[in-house]
Amino acid sequence: MPAYCPYCGANWCKLKETREVIEVVIEQGTSIAKYLWTDCKWGEHLKNHGMNWQMFLKCINDMRYVFMDWIYGRRNWKYALESLIKKLEELGVPCVSRLQRTQAPTRLYLRWYSEWRRIMTNKSLMCPKCGRRVEFLEVRQF
């Protein structure tokens, strides 16, 4: 599931200048955690079983290599999701079939990384191919 610039379609997983951005965003985990917790409404189920946002974010961070394999196309979303669900079940959170049917995200948000970069370097996060400011990447399904 490579991640692409929404403007020019450049594959950020293949560009030397941007691979680090992808890896930092996946490792930090907020984009995937927010997608599952809020957009897919996992948060309500997880909270009902004693898991708060910080615990879930740590769980996503612990699974970062699985999600890295997914974003680079080495594993599919189903595998990443099943691995995460197994981890949650090991932590005592029963996972219902609704969670297992969750679709892969179509966007990988870079907002926190972009803000950090702006503070540290006084520069916006730009696509090295088209030169436009990027706040998210498109994640395309095969």
Quickly list H helices, 14-52: 16-28, 30-34, 42-48
CB 54 within 8 A of CB 46: no
pLDDT of residue 97: 66
Count helices and strands (H / E) in the chain: 8, 3
At residue 91, the 3 state secondary structure works out as coil
- Spatial CB neighbours of 63, under 8 Å, sequence gap ≥ 6: 80, 83, 84, 87
Average pLDDT over residues 118-131: 86
3-state secondary structure of 139: strand
pLDDT above 90: residue 37: yes
For 48-106, how does the pLDDT look when each residue is reduced to its tens digit (9 = 90+)?
A: 999 999 999 999 999 999 999 999 889 999 999 999 999 999 999 887 666 778 899 99
CA angle in degrees (0–180, nearest 5) for 110-61-54? 90
pTM for this structure? Answer: 0.85
Q: Are 7 and 130 a contacting pair, CB within 8 Å?
A: yes
pLDDT value, residue 29: 86
**What's the confidence (pLDDT) of residue 7?**
96
Q: Is the pLDDT of residue 114 over 90?
A: no
Whole-number pLDDT of residue 142: 54
